[in-house]
Amino acid sequence: MKVLIIEDEKELAKSIVEYLSEEKYLCEEAATFTEAMNKIDVFNYDCILLDITLPDGNGLKILEELKKDNKQDGVIIISAKNSLDDKIKGLQIGADDYLTKPFHLSELTARIYSLIRRRQFNNANIIRLDELEIDLLAKSVTVNNESVPLTKKEFDLLIYFIGNKKRVLSKSTLAEHLSGDFADMLDNHDFVYAHVKNLKKKLSDAGCEQYIKTVYGTGYIWNG
């Protein structure tokens, strides 16, 4: 899987590369508009992480070029601009996702994972992990061909874990992911524990191996 990171902030790009490299993603970096355009002209990527504010141009221009050339690269905008209008504009031009800085690397990874899955398996997007089968389109889960009824949040949580296999996910990171727009107002992170507990119980009740492990007392990891 090839990922192009168009980001002018060196440290940020470095962190992303470091985190993604462990996922067997092949990362390339572009720090400027020109550099990015040169790479896009020559190569195809599975996913492009696009910063809108670049020193020598607007990232949205790159997106427009991609769409004009009918390129199939998936694009996730990563922007420090939290402007709602920018978000809508980006998605209208054809970005697949929009992530506001600062974000957790696990969040980014989960989004890249979902995006690539979506693009590769358009019609039957099914993840198979031994006895576990996840249908991303139907949002259904089966264990040994038996369906496991998960709530929306539990399903969301499961995908997050699958997208961050073998990564330590801390309670506060999960809380931020799960609460979304309400993150600002929720101060108690105990609901994370409840959600994870329910998910674990439903999966193991269906006969699935216990992939989710607790680490360091409050963190979680998907070991499978």
Partner 1 sequence: MKKNLLQKSLKQLTIFAFIVFALSVPSYFLLVDWIWLKELDENNQLIAARIENEFNEQKINNEKLAESIAFWNEIQPVSKIESAANPLAKDSLYTIRRENSYSKSEAIDRFRGLKTNILINNKNYVLVVETNVEETEETVAYIAMVTLVFFMILVIGFWILNRKLSRKLWQPFQDTLEKLKSFQLNNQKRISFPETDIIEFNELNTTLDKLLQHNIAAYQSQKEFTENASHELQTPLAVLKNKIDLLLQSDDLTERQYHIAEEMNKAIIRSTRINKNLLLLAKIENNQFDSSTLIRLDTLIDQILDGLPTFFKDKNITITTHIQPAVEVTANSGLTEVLINNLVANAIRHTLPGGSIKIALSASGLEVSNSGEQPLNPDLLFKRFSRISADNNGSGLGLSIVQEICRFHNWEVSYNFKNATHIFFVRILTF
Residue ranges binding partner 1 (CB under 8 A): 9, 11-12, 15-16, 18-19, 22, 80, 82-85, 88, 100-106, 151, 153, 167-168, 170-173, 176, 180-188, 190-191, 194-195, 215-219
Q: Which is nearer to partner 1, 5 or 66 (CB)?
A: 5
72 touches 65 (CB < 8 A): no
- Tally Cβ neighbours within 10 Å of residue 152: 8
Shortest spacing between CB 106 and partner 1, in angstroms: 6
Question: Residues 25, 119, 130, CA angle at the centre, nearest 5°?
Answer: 70
Task: Report the DSSP beta bridge partners of residue 168.
Answer: 221
Shortest spacing between CB 182 and partner 1, in angstroms: 5
Shortest spacing between CB 31 and partner 1, in angstroms: 13
Over its C-alpha atoms, the chain yields an Rg (Å, rounded) of 18
Shortest spacing between CB 60 and partner 1, in angstroms: 17
Which residue is it, tokens 């993150």?
183
Q: Which is nearer to partner 1, 66 or 196 (CB)?
A: 196
Q: Which is nearer to partner 1, 70 or 182 (CB)?
A: 182
Q: Which is nearer to partner 1, 12 or 126 (CB)?
A: 12
Which of 153, 148, 151, 113 lies closest to 132, judged by CA?
148
| Distance separating alpha carbons of residues 14 and 132, to the nearest angstrom | 34
Shortest spacing between CB 180 and partner 1, in angstroms: 7
